Structure 1
Amino acid sequence: MELALIGLAKSGKTTVFNALTGGHAQTSAFVGGKLEPNVAVVKVPDPRVDAMTAQYTPKKTTYATVKYVDIAGLAKDDTTEHKGVLEALLQYVSKADALIAVVRGYADDVHGEPHPASDLEAVHLELIFSDIAKVENRIPKIEKQISRTQGKERDTMAHELAVLQKIKPGLEANKPVRALGLTPDEEKAVRGFQFLSAKPLMYILNVSEDKMADAPAMLAGAESPTVTGFPHTATSWLAGEIEMEISQLEGADRDAFLADYKITEPAAARIIELSYNLLGYISFLTVGPDEVRAWTIPNGSTAPQAAGAIHSDFERGFIRAEVIGYDELVAQGSLANAKKHGQLRLEGKSYVVKDGDVINFLFSV
């Protein structure tokens, strides 16, 4: 899973990046025209993997991972130079599974008091404008080329044109692509554009220590149907500087710090969980003496599709799956005991994998 952090300049975005990754990226690193993003890969905390590792003592333990990409802050600027920089920045997030937009919720010497509602809207519109530019650039080209094509190529281009013409008025009304009700076939036709407003989006209000008590009300006041009310959109808040400190601590020191600030769960774990929910992802496990591993798949995946997450041969040659729920396995103590008591189920191609399933795939190629 890849998550890209975006936001206006001075939103504390890189501080949030450090909080989520335990990294040490310089929070002023993008000053001076630097465009290359900060990148970090972190393990997804999963007590189930911990427990299975303790039970099986495997040679290797592999957690699911999240890749975070942090680009330079966006500027409220309509100049040609800015648009070129914006395009260069946004190319780094085009392959992300979802976007995290960080919004300033604290006062600073440059911008004064926070204005989260207008900043939320500014980020929303930047994504819309980026997509409009792609559509407006492509439609005239298709209209010019389509008359010179025929057969299947013409049909493909005509379908693409129809989808773009459906998208364009929605974007012009400031609606993101993810809210336009595209069919799976229509989504496939324009997948190559990597429309940013098609991606699930989480807005995070980044507050200072003295604003933590006010953060829920501040976030609620900034939300609106025309920005945060669209499908596949979520909101949350965190105190970036505090969470960055937490991410650098371990054990008793971290627990004491969390208790002092009445934080029940570090933001690093909470945001990953929210991201899984936003994207509709779940995890299943494979266990054994060689490796205990968590695999991330879309919710609703069938057993063969889950097998394909491991290797395409597993999906192509799928025969059946031996399945047991994590809680059932813990109750049984081992797969051997579960099998002995008839708790290890044999599932076929139509089985829909559930979060926490422990699976052994049988296949032949």
Structure 2
Amino acid sequence: MNWQWTSIDSINALAQPEFDVLTHSSHPSSPFLKFEFLRAFEETRCVGGNTGWLTRHIIIRDETQTLIGFLPAYIKTHSYGEYVFDHSWAHAYQQHNLAYYPKLIVAVPFTPVTGPRILLAQNIALEKMAQYIEQISDELMQSLHVASVHILFAPKQTSNELLTRGFHQRQSVQFNWHNKQYAHFDDFMAELTARRRRSIRKERTGIAKQGVQVNRIVGGAITALDMAFFYRCYQQTYLKRSGHNGYLSSAFFETLLQDMPENLLLVIAEQRLQPARDSQQLAITETANSKDIKSATPIAAALFLYDENGLYGRYWGALTDVSGLHFEACYYQGIEFCIEQDIAIFNPGTQGEHKILRGFAPTLCYSNHKMQEKAFDDAIADFLQRETPHIIDYAEKSASLLPYRRHDESE
């Protein structure tokens, strides 16, 4: 296998047409692995500098110097923004006077969404590339001066293949909604128990009773002013939760709007001073051209990315607290959009058991880990062997709480 790997400190070290050949060969595709998305992190300085994220994408070329593989990779000096929590591992290293950082992660920054982590040329099999990654893993860690390699939110097939190649597998749980070829939101509701249908209707009509209208704005219809308002909301969420303004800059979101509007869905909630007369009807539009907008004040926003394979809820914030608005803007609007666009899967974001009772099913996520220090590599393997049954048990118990009616159940 006469292949050669190297690392690059910017996605711009590759020509976009060369990169796009790989992304088009990966299935399913992901908006987060688009050249434009990875470039936006760098151009707006959300990675690099003193962020603790140093771009070190791994590229593999064959004997003809043709690009045949790409791993989105970053050297990390902390564990924030990854969502596969390894702080206890870092603490164990510290207790033994060993350096856990820097480490190499193969992932998309601040994006806990399962997707391709090894982009391949059309004629290269995953098994063959995984074998190559196994062969170069020690050289990779030594050359980049990192203590470990972590491949986060990989597809199950990729993770299982890496598991056979010495990369220990870790599992976690997220909650996804699956579109069972519904024609309307009511078709989805009909699948739920009567109790849950009543609860969801109450949540949705309660939004209108509070004088709130929710609008979906798609792609090119999103304006710079819309995005600027969203960013205010985004910052507010982080200020409340973490005491900082968020990992991503306004320039990052402006760049997404400029470079990949076809992958953006923005939900904006507005509140009128007086509640709507018909509080039983929740007004929903797909553009910002509602007659009521001038008399309403925007109060919250949620930004999603999507393609033909999935909808991904990523960012949310509110300037005013309105009961139930988070569920409406972040969940029900996304479900309606998936039904309208015939999108199969909706990932609304990481964590959140409250998603279960709204029809989001537990879904296992996979990551893989290899430590340069053998004693700790063995210890991590032992830890994961004990942790995994608990994760699987949690997923199974969560699934038992889903509010879908059994097909033999009458009401």
TM-score, normalized by length of structure 2?
0.23
Q: Pick the structure with more helix per residue.
A: 1
